[in-house]
Structure 1
Amino acid sequence: MTTIRHHLSDKLMLAYAVGQLPEAFSLVVATHLSLCDACRAEAAAFDAVGGALLEEAGESAMGAAALDLALARIESLPQETRPAARGRTGALPAPLAGDVGADPAAVRWRRVAGGVRQAILPTGREASARLLHIPAGTAIPDHGHGGLELTLVLQGAFTDQGERFGPGDVEISDESIEHRPVVLADQDCLCLTAADAPLRFRGLIPRLVQPFLRI
């Protein structure tokens, strides 16, 4: 049984519960919730609090088109902001499989460098989401962040700043983080990431190729 040690923050789960996360981040959150019993239970508590607050709110007059507008807004929400399905469909967690299919071998990968491959997922413009396939033993170049980045491990593991991140774990990085994650040597690593700003690489070559790789 996989032990998940790195979880979502309360801030992220609250934003997810009220539909305030960009689609890319919602996909990462929904995928983690499908794998993590602890975070899924906490997310349910956030939903319950929101429901209680609505019940305590006073009544307000509604326009004749209020119901139609509400239904239209629900239908326009990205699929990832709706309740997360549990478990896996094939090799990938259910929320992610709905976007890319169940089999990682069928993903349309694009080579990055050093054997690393990526697949950019279709999401809204506020943030980007991608799958990363990183060979065993690979070190990611030193970099910082221009905003928020979530990295969810789906397969394999990596170490970063003395911590180990394995399947189901989420690493939360922001402008305060400068790091160089290293994939463990025994297995390739498959990750789902979301970011709302480009990475800040220290090396010249990563900076030169960054615009072409959209990272």
Structure 2
Amino acid sequence: MTIRVEKVVTSGVFTLDGGSWDVDNNVWLVGDDDEVLVIDAAHDAEAIGRAVGDRRLVAIVCTHAHNDHVNVAPQLSRNFDDAPILLHPDDTALWEQTHPDREPDRPLTDGEVVTVAGASLRVLHTPGHAPGAVCLYEPQLGIVFTGDTLFEGGPGATGRSFSSRDLIVASIRRILFALPPETVVHTGHGPDTSIGAEHANVPPE
């Protein structure tokens, strides 16, 4: 089967530190005709479920635990035979703000490989936007899913609790910029970019 990447854009509200913002999120699916992985279950479990269809949902991977990236993860899991939810443990405090009564099923660890439909996504721990933020790199496909760590135009936001501007810049420069410059960046919000295109948009450490 041919591996494919699909995007579902969902809309909702991001809340943190007493503020709220209307946002559009990119929900990414990686798989083939038989099985699929969902990256960041945001806002609309029904829309994501329609994109999954009758495929086996291997896992729901969270790039970080801000509510707009995880708010329908438990519902999506229930809808698909309790598919496991994967999250880096450094984001536990953020996760508990949204889901105090439901823990993730398995921790993500730096360097581990999550497999689906012949694709191998390597977990890169990239703290800064959130303590447990991760990116998922698939070298055969030449793509990386960056969540809110790197966007078209530079680093993700760091002006709120649990975030660090110094850490996100270090994560991008030391980890993401080690990837080939032609690597396509699939972001958590907004358009795609590439690793090479963002070199000029990230300040020095």
TM-score by length of 2: 0.32
Larger radius of gyration: 1
Whichever structure has more strand as a proportion of its residues is: 2
- Quick one: higher RCO (CA 8 Å, sep 6+), 1 or 2? 1
Whichever structure has more helix as a proportion of its residues is: 1
TM-score by length of 1: 0.31
